[in-house]
A and B are shown apart, each in its own frame.
Chain A
Amino acid sequence: MEYGNSSVVTTVLPQFVSDHVALEIKNLVVEYRDGVQAVKNISFSVPRQAVTAIIGPSGCGKSTALRALNRMNELMPGTRTTGEVLFHSKNIYDPNVDPVTVRRHIGMVFQKPNPFPKSIYENIAWAARIHGLTDNLDDLVESSLRQAALWDEVKDKLKKSALSLSGGQQQRLCIARSIALKPEIILMDEPTSALDPISTASIENLIHDLKQQYTIIIVTHNMQQAGRISEMTAFMLSGDLVEYAPTNRLFVSPEDERTERYITGRFG
């Protein structure tokens, strides 16, 4: 069995050349309003233009950790985040960093496809317009939809409501919407868990293509998926980062006994 296609990354690990690091997470702690530490002091480096997977049992803090990487947790009042997330050697939690700008460069795709109740065209054009990407908006819409492998299916109905698309198409539209802003990093929180196997496969193919240009961090419940698409895998357990390693190594010869128990399915 072969896991991942990570030879390049593997050779430069564990100390990436800093050019190869998209995001460096140091001592990240996230606490919800009730004082529960959902993420407990985790540190790892995310390689550029590769897929990094975060796996772990339900409730272990995967989503919370992922949302900390573009400051989405701040939408929930009362969450407290400490530690550093270095993006271009700048801490995105620095008081003089605007979270709006952070999210402009670090996009997100959610578990449940959430296109806006607007036309397919507007789903992509709306945010692009706000960010001033107004010349050749039609081209931008087309190229984003092409990159998301959705163009052929929707090119004749761009004015139709996005809600008329299937779940898998909606999710690709959400990816296109994110791509249109030319982010550097795309965070994906279980992007296929609400989809059927065929849509899942098409999204996985898409992720494979996207990593030529983007850094992707994906949370997944599905270990086979992590194995298929990622170069690096992080295994989390009750808020801790238990093990972070190249995907093939983590799945074939995990160092931590807890990781081994989890990936062999001998877990709670």
Chain B
Amino acid sequence: MEYENQFEKSANRTRRHRKDKFFAFSLILPGIIVLAILVLILIMLVAKGVKAFNPDFFLSVQKPFGVEGGGIVNGILGSLLIMAMASLISIPLALIFSVTLIEKKDTRIARLLELCLSSFQGVPSIVFGVIMYSWLVVPLKSYSALSAAIAVSFIMIPTVSATIKEVLLLVPSSYKEAAISLGVPRWKAMTGVIVPSAMPGIKGAVGLGLARIAGETAPLLFTAFGNPFLSLNPSKPVSAMPLIIYDYIKSPYADWHEKAWGTALLLVLMVFALTLSISARQKNAHPR
């Protein structure tokens, strides 16, 4: 009896064990596949892109159609310009929106704002390009870095607002209570205590927003347009890294194909660096 029982138990256990293992494996498998694909893409990017990396690639502007050599510095700086201008537009608005969503919670304004922001997140990004084309490019008769920055801000604002809102909600409500109990108006409590104490998270939200727009191509096609020369004038067309990839990969030249891969690799590295610096900072942020 005893023996039998024990035997049965252990048989059960091994069977259960096997089942567990199988189950765990079936959970891990999709993860492994995704990871493998990701690694494959990275290997391919590095293998094909790194050949393009040389001082010229980073320091000189694009060469004319069909001419070998040159670099993409106009694209790198153009992308940075667009991202900087988009930050200038998006960060204040995202802060205002997220604070409004929290402070005016359950009011009509907040509900309307929430609806707008979430609807914007669902709009294909090329639509923002088209809109800015007809609102700015056509009236001003010029493609411009500014129109591109506004177009990508349409993408950046909703994502950053939503993230900042979550970050602000994580701030202990006791801080707000403390501030309010000192006879401080609500908006000062927000700007003086709650926003500053959420700063690491807010920076992270902005970083993620930038990572999100760094590779956007569609909204740039008829706003930034591209520019083979180095330009940092907001009212003039500029180049951008995604535009260069788009142009070069379509071209018939092996040299340009190589540069397209190089640009793609650089873009991915930049986004990686951004994401990594965010998570590093998050870890360094003082724990409560």
Contacts and interface: CB of A to CB of B under 8 A. Distances in A.
Interface in B255-276: none
A130 interface: yes
Contacts of A72: 177, 180-181
A131 interface: yes
Given A126-B192, A130-B188, A161-B286, A114 B183 contact: no
A174 interface: yes
B147 to A, nearest CB: 40
Interface string B170-198: 00101111111111110010001100110
Give the interface size bracket for A toward B.
Answer: 20 to 34
A161 B179 CA distance: 17
Contacts of B196: 117-118
Nearest to B178: A114
B2 interface: no
B286 A163 contact: yes
Interface of chain B, main secondary structure: helix
A114 B184 contact: no
Nearest to A71: B180
Contact of B184 (A105, A115, A127, A163): A127
Contacts, number: 68
Contacts of B283: none
Contacts of B177: 72, 75, 110, 114
Interface stretch (A96-104, A217-225, A226-234, A240-248): A96-104
Interface in A85-120: 100-105, 107-108, 110, 112, 114-118
Interface of A: 70, 72, 75, 77, 100-105, 107-108, 110, 112, 114-118, 126-127, 130-131, 161, 163, 174, 177-178, 181
9 contacts: A72-B177, A75-B180, A102-B183, A104-B182, A110-B177, A114-B174, A161-B286, A163-B288, A178-B181
Interface of B: 105-106, 172, 174-185, 188, 192-193, 196-197, 286, 288
The 9 closest A-B pairs by CB, nearest first: A104-B183, A108-B181, A114-B174, A127-B182, A103-B183, A117-B197, A114-B178, A116-B193, A100-B183
